[in-house]
Structure 1
Amino acid sequence: MYQPNPGPSANYAEPYYVPPNQPLNQYSDAKDPYEGGRFKPKKTINDPIFLILFVLQASPALLGYAAVSGIALSTWISQGGLGGGLGKDGGKSGTAVTLNRSTVYLLLLVAAAAVLLSTAYLLLTRMFTRTIMHITLVLSIALNIGICVYYWITKYWSGAIIFTIIAVLSVLSYFGFRSRIPLASLLLQVVMDVSKHHTSVYAVAFAALFIQAALSVWYTFTVIATYSKWTPGNPSCSTGSSCSSGKVAGLIFFETFSFLWTSQVTGNVALATLAGGPYGSWYYFGPRALGEMPKHPTISAFGRASTLSLGSIAFGSLIVTILELIKLILNAAQQNANADGHPIEACLACCAACFIGIIESLVEYFNRYAYIEIALYGKAYIPAAKDTWRLFKDRGIDALVNDSLVGMTLMWGAYAIGVLCSLFAYLYLRITAPSYNVGGQYTAPVILFAFLIGMVCSMTMSSAIEAGVSTIFVGLGEDPQVLAIRAPALFSMIAETYPHVTAGVPRG
């Protein structure tokens, strides 16, 4: 059994490996990296309708979003909403009505802390991959059991039944998952080593991280300012103004839709850039030292993802955005039903939201592989989805197990970073004692925002690593013989664990 080396990067140009009992001529048809339009797609715009819709949303809608944000924020600032500063003295200055500049500084510090903590967690994961995977697997099972017990104690029957099933399945699958940790850890280490030799991986990750963080902070303060500007009874609502709860709800819905779709597209463009750039190029052309890799593969991949393939990426992202909005509406309906004392309606809304959430997670998981097909071959969304379905039908459980272990490891890191960021925000509020939070009424939302920013920042960086894992899996399905050259140790372990995988997926 090969043991992953947590030290220097592995030599990916090691001698050719042929699995036992498999003839060498099986791999004699090594394909040209550019075959089938790979890395050089036709110069046609895919899914133009969705490209136009996204541009219409991202230009007038984004301008409208900026206008609404500007009006709301200007009123908020004129009332002293951005008073205050950094530290204890700054926190106590400014308006006593709502969040001020002290909170802006706090969220900026939280974002910076999230970046540093995310980097540190990735380094620790590379050094102690197997150990961290074992720990996160046990923690995930313990969390499922804990949530199940809590729901039964609190008599939240629908949630208790759902999480009982999840807890039982997680316990039953423990030994199967544990046996796959060596393969998943080696796969994760190979991807981390590849990323170490391609600084563009982290450049793309940090660019996506910055955009996501900026969008998150902008959205958060715009929603706060919108609520403050147009909610009846607030000081900014004069007697003859057009303030109403319906207007607030409509504006927040518009802002949420714009934020979710733009955020989805941003993250998926980054995924396609990484898949079609450093990871895909390493898989098909080999390490840069061999001299066969095209110049500036990341820039070329970004050019394809942000132009020819942007409509396809927007198509897949819109599906997830609609599902997310439906889930948010159902969650709001559940809260209203609970507040009005209608437990049956609340239970139905909860079950519906849970069902939509499951569908959303499946679509997001499926889309990740479709975007890699789009990045490598320049396909439209529907053909990429068909090929992804063909890949999943042949070996979906293999992808699920390894992605679950890798994703579980990175998700727990994101959760821990979110908790640390929220703790930092809580301590900052306790020490600075801002004037708007004298009664502690803003402690919970600020801590929640800090937690979300920490999680989003960490998940954005982790997505760069997950992109590499998924890209190798797609490459393995399309052309397994290439991985036998690039990473013999990894291919050997895959051949031992999943012998049928080395044959490749039948072409549709």
Structure 2
Amino acid sequence: MSSGYQPMYAPGPTPYYAEPYDPPADPPPSGGYGYDAKSPYEGERFRPKKRVNDPLFLIFFVLQFAGFVVLSAISVNEWVKSGGLGGGIGSGDTGTSVTLNYHTVILLLLVTAAALVLSTIYLILTRTFTRMIMHFTLILSIALNIGICVYYWTTKYWSGAIIFTAIALLSIFAYFGYRSRIPLASLLLQVVMDVAKHHWSVYTVAFIALIVQSAFSVWYTFTVISIYAKWTPGNPTCGHGSSCSSGKVAGLIFYATFSYIWTSQVIGNVALATLAGGPFGCWYYFGPRDDGMMPRHPALSSFIRASTLSLGSIAFGSLIVTLLELLRLLLNVLRNNANADGQPIEACLAMCAECFVGCIEGLVEYFNRYAYIEIALYGKPYLQAAQDTWRMIKDRGIDALINDSLVGMTLTWGAYAIGLLCSLFAYLYLRYTHPSYNADGQYTAPVVLFAFLIGVQCMMTLSSAIEAGVSTIFVGLGEDPQVLAIRAPQLFTLVASTYPQVVQGVPRV
């Protein structure tokens, strides 16, 4: 924790993070966002209408999840009856050489456990440290990228070596470019951590979401392996009346992955909306719990709204990101195939397209986070929340502040680092245990990809708790910036000096 920040969140009328803020005697001018004093319940805030928003997307989400349940039940049941086709932890030559077996199931279960442990450690580190964690995650990502690209060069995995070399250089440039912006992001993180310290529901929601996500990852793992086992041509279970083909396996795996990504997105975004409309939003608009103005059980009431009336809106926004993620994964497969066929030009084009789609996906996820906060606070449909978010960004000029949020970047790098560790573990496990089904390395890419997805999804679900607090402060700045001058004067002063357009019109002493 930096020496200039001394949080004092003791019982009393208002927590303060610097010298007390003395409001001027004259009332602030009215007009625009946040110029006049507003009620916490302004515009149906925290008291939305009792209506189900975006019902068509809610129905679509429920139907696709029901389809995943049916598919999983059929494939896993048949897979269990066949004994899982042999294989075990550390074993290589047991089982069939046709398709995946228990060896890979145990491997991905170990990956899920590792992702759970690494994500928990990351939460503890983030809770304990502030500025240091930002430097640490950026430097760790650089070290991981360099280490992996060196390993791929030595093992002559040329396409992976070229890609990770470019990623390593990009991460180095990103660190030096964002280093000067760490103080503001560090103070934001400190404020969020200090608020979370007095609202244990933040950690309760984060851990529940993480456990649910981990359990769903395990379920997805069993489903994918059982699909391979049941419908791969030449597999013994094909004699039980099932129609087996490689196309069928690819289609079912695609559907299962689509359902996994979409449902995982919804899990993380429900947690984000719960925290934004619960402890963080209530802290910003009502003040500390000791003031007696905060509603009782804010996290519970916010979760009920997010998981019922607003679930369709959250599913709508999550579907957009899911489709972009699937497109990026398809481009990744095309790049790998082109590289394997010795077509470097096609591989480079696919890699460029993959990076372009990844950038768009990141921007959509970034924008959606603020739309989900509008949904959590006001109960708006997704399109209305997106329009209001964009209008607030333009009217208040906080686009620079949003784009400068190093907190989100740090957490994303952390998820990326955990995903890399999980995928590297899976790669090494396959390389040194030599399972029969992977004698020619044909299953290395999908197994490593599944491990990476599991690690990233677990960490992103956990980090949504921290991002919810930071993003809620940003939304509060866009609507009522003068409130932050009371809640966290030092942060308000730093924001005002860095981005004066954000707090323009707010009186200062």
Superposition TM-score, scaled by structure 1 size? 0.82
> Equivalent residue for 2:348?
347
The answer to whether residue 52 in structure 2 is matched with residue 17 in structure 1 is no
* Maintained 8 Å contact 2:96/2:436: yes
CA 1:69–1:240: 2 relative to 1, 3 Å = closer
Q: How does 1:37-436 map to 2 (within 5 A)?
A: 37-58=44-65, 62=66, 64-81=67-84, 95=95, 107-108=108-109, 110-137=111-138, 163=166, 171=173, 177-238=178-239, 241-393=242-394, 394-402=397-405, 405-418=406-419
**Matched position secondary structure for 1:236:** helix
**What is the CA distance between 1:421 and its match in structure 2?**
5.2
Separation in 1, partners of 2:337, 2:422: 30
Q: For each residue in 1:207-244, what CA deviation from the matched residue of structure 2 results, as whole angstroms up to 9, or x when unmatched?
A: 22122212222222212221221121222223975211
* Maintained 8 Å contact 2:86/2:96: no
CA 1:174–1:390: 2 relative to 1, 3 Å = farther
Q: For each residue in 1:363-417, what CA deviation from the matched residue of structure 2 results, as whole angstroms up to 9, or x when unmatched?
A: 1111011111111111111121112112333121211112xx2123323433444
Which stretch has the larger CA shift, 105-114 or 321-330?
105-114
Q: For each residue in 1:52-97, what CA deviation from the matched residue of structure 2 results, as whole angstroms up to 9, or x when unmatched?
A: 2223323xxx2x3223222322232223218677x88xx6998466
> Equivalent residue for 2:40?
33
**Matched position secondary structure for 2:244:** coil
Q: For each residue in 1:1-52, what CA deviation from the matched residue of structure 2 results, as whole angstroms up to 9, or x when unmatched?
A: x945478757853475259x99763588321100101000112222222222
**What is the CA distance between 1:131 and its match in structure 2?**
2.6
Identity %: 66
**Matched position secondary structure for 2:308:** coil
CA 1:258–1:455: 2 relative to 1, 3 Å = closer
Superposition TM-score, scaled by structure 2 size? 0.81
Separation in 1, partners of 2:163, 2:428: 34
CA 1:211–1:163: 2 relative to 1, 3 Å = same
Separation in 1, partners of 2:213, 2:373: 21
**What is the CA distance between 1:341 and its match in structure 2?**
4.2
* Maintained 8 Å contact 1:79/1:95: no
Which stretch has the larger CA shift, 110-119 or 415-424?
415-424
Separation in 2, partners of 1:9, 1:390: 34
* Maintained 8 Å contact 2:231/2:243: yes
What code does the residue aligned with 2:21 have? Answer: Y
What code does the residue aligned with 1:280 have? Answer: G
**Matched position secondary structure for 2:238:** coil
**Matched position secondary structure for 2:83:** coil
Separation in 2, partners of 1:6, 1:361: 34
Separation in 2, partners of 1:128, 1:161: 29
**What is the CA distance between 1:489 and its match in structure 2?**
2.0
**What is the CA distance between 1:197 and its match in structure 2?**
1.4
**What is the CA distance between 1:362 and its match in structure 2?**
1.0
Separation in 1, partners of 2:163, 2:439: 35
Unaligned 5+ segments in structure 1 are: none
**Matched position secondary structure for 1:500:** coil
**Matched position secondary structure for 1:81:** helix
Unaligned 5+ segments in structure 2 are: none
Paired residues, number? 489
Separation in 1, partners of 2:483, 2:398: 18
**What is the CA distance between 1:500 and its match in structure 2?**
2.2
